[in-house]
């Protein structure tokens, strides 16, 4: 069976976009994702908004009115990246999507890679958009952030037992059939550290994981949500994963 024939069986993929005050990016981001449509894939979008106060929510409502394949989950207050992803997974499972993708809403993750992810997942359960495999990389990052990212991924492998080169990227495509095997309630990390925990639990469940190269470009508009608190939470998550790795 050819690749075209295999993918034509795909019902649809859901792209989960967590937002918090992304008025400068959200509309253009959704339109760019929707422009990736082809005879091979259908990408729906789920915006998960955590109580934006800059007009993001209103923009998202307009997008849902203009396009029936764009959906909005209004959460009213900041509940965190981890719970946004889990909410997106549950939505995908409840509505019969074959795949669910997670990505940033600020163009750090370029939607142009989505078709390549779809191709890669034909022989995988999880595709990770990796900055640290041949062909991947970062642009416009200060040295401090490069060091932090590098150290975090080294520790994720050494302490958390992750087998991936890039366990801290949020640009991924999951097979929903595989997500049904996971105890989503056990994923408790509530910030960016959930990215490591998700790889950990997928790995423990026997996921076939593929890393597909991406170029990560630092945001040009809006404000980053990564704080010193998130860094401390990441170290706490690594400690917790190390304990689980030993005990399970």
The string of DSSP letters for 100-146 reads EEE--SSSSS-GGGHHHHHHHGGG-SEEEEESSSTT-EEES--HHHH
For domain 3-247, the question of CATH label 3.40.50.720 is answered with no
Q: pLDDT tens digits, the chain, 248 residues: what are they?
A: 444 444 445 558 999 999 999 999 999 999 999 999 665 678 999 999 999 999 999 999 999 999 999 999 999 999 989 999 999 999 999 999 999 999 999 999 999 999 999 999 999 999 999 999 999 999 988 898 899 899 889 988 888 889 999 999 999 999 999 999 999 988 888 778 899 999 999 999 999 999 999 999 986 655 555 556 766 677 677 767 766 776 66
How far is the C-alpha of 114 from the C-alpha of 43, rounded, in Å? 9
User: Which residues contact residue 191 at a Cβ distance below 8 angstroms, ignoring those fewer than 6 apart?
Assistant: 80, 81, 82, 229, 230, 233, 234
For residue 187, what are its two tokens? 């994923």
Return the exposure string of 183-202: e unless at least 16 CB atoms fall within 10 Å of the residue's CB, then b. Answer: eeeebebbbbbbbbbbbbbb
Any idea what the Cα angle at residue 121 is, between residues 18 and 238, rounded to 5°?
Answer: 55
pTM for the whole thing? 0.88
């Amino acid at each position: 069976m050819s690749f075209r024939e295999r993918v034509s069986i795909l019902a649809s993929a859901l792209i989960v976009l967590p937002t918090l005050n992304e008025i400068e990016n959200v509309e253009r981001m959704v339109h760019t994702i929707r422009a990736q449509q082809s005879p091979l894939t259908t990408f729906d979008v789920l915006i998960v908004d955590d109580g934006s106060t800059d007009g993001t929510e209103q923009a998202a409502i307009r997008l849902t009115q203009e396009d029936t394949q764009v959906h909005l989950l209004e959460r009213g207050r900041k509940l965190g990246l981890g719970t946004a992803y889990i909410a997106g997974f549950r939505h995908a499972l409840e509505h019969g999507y074959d795949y669910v993708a997670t990505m940033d809403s600020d163009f750090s993750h370029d939607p142009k890679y989505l078709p390549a992810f779809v191709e890669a997942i034909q022989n995988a359960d999880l595709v990770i958009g990796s900055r640290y495999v041949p062909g991947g990389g970062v642009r416009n990052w200060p040295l401090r952030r490069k060091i932090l990212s590098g150290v975090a991924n080294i520790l994720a492998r050494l302490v958390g037992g992750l087998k991936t080169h890039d366990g801290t990227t949020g640009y991924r495509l999951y097979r929903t059939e595989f997500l049904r095997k996971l105890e989503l309630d056990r994923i408790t990390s509530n910030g960016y550290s959930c990215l490591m925990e998700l790889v950990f639990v997928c790995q423990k469940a026997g996921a076939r994981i593929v890393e597909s190269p991406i170029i990560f470009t630092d945001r040009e508009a809006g404000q980053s949500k990564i704080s010193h608190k998130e860094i401390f939470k990441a170290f706490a998550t690594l400690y917790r994963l190390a304990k689980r790795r030993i005990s399970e």
